[in-house]
Amino acid sequence: MSDHAHSEILPVGGTDTVSTAWWGMACLIATEAILFVYLIFSYAYLGSQHDGPWPPSGAPSLKLALPNTVILVCSSFLLGWGVREFRRRRDNGRLALFLVGTIVLGTAFITIQGFEWAGKPFAFSTNAYSAAFFILTGVHMAHVAVGLLMLVMLLVWTLMGRFGDAHHEHLALGALYWHFVDVVWIAVFTTAYLVPQFS
């Protein structure tokens, strides 16, 4: 290594893995992901120790949950498309539309799930199954809600023109979080809705 310095142009802040914010979001996702592992573990443990069938009230209906899953997955694709478009064309208006679309789909998810919950034959405090079911799906719903707040903030910043050439990491990171929420839903949905269909 020489003693001589030469000058280089380096990015400021950086995007994706060059930025530090990306790694921070990765840590957040890691810790939230393991939370869902523990939620699924608790659900499975209580099920394994249960006397009698699990779920006690029979497998939950897929009538609302399956279309809802499709809605959430679509919202992820929509957001991913929007972010990719923005990277290419830097069009704030189009980005805003994509964000609005994602927010609408996300809100629909929460609303439909709310209806589905209201129609359950059990309440949070009914028994061990209902506790495990509602905390698993409920913690997920809370993450969706936080994701929606994040998307709203992104929308506001888009409309304020804060996403210029150099810095739109917030966008990528918000999208990363939203994708995470969707992937987790696949795991939650499989555990709470699909597996009981087959056992």
Burial class (CB in 10 A: 0-12, 13-18, 19+), 151: buried
The rounded distance, in Å, linking the Cα atoms of 147 and 106 is 9
199 counts as binding other proteins under rule CB under 8 A: no
The rounded distance, in Å, linking the Cα atoms of 134 and 141 is 10
Interface of this chain with other proteins, residues 144 to 183, rule: CB under 8 A:
149, 153, 156-157, 162-168, 170
50 counts as binding other proteins under rule CB under 8 A: yes
Maximum pairwise Cα distance, the chain: 75
12 counts as binding other proteins under rule CB under 8 A: yes
Distances (CA, A) of 7 to 10, 13, 40, 55: 9, 18, 52, 65
Of the residues 86, 109, 129, 189, which one makes contact with other proteins according to CB under 8 A: 129
Of the residues 1, 93, 118, 199, which one makes contact with other proteins according to CB under 8 A: 1
128 counts as binding other proteins under rule CB under 8 A: yes
57 counts as binding other proteins under rule CB under 8 A: no
Residue 66 tokens read as 């399956």
Distances (CA, A) of 38 to 11, 33, 44, 51, 139: 39, 9, 10, 22, 12
Of the residues 58, 91, 124, 142, which one makes contact with other proteins according to CB under 8 A: 124
Binding residues vs other proteins (CB under 8 A): 1-14, 18-20, 23-24, 27-28, 30-32, 34-35, 38-39, 41-42, 45-46, 49-51, 56, 124-132, 135, 149, 153, 156-157, 162-168, 170
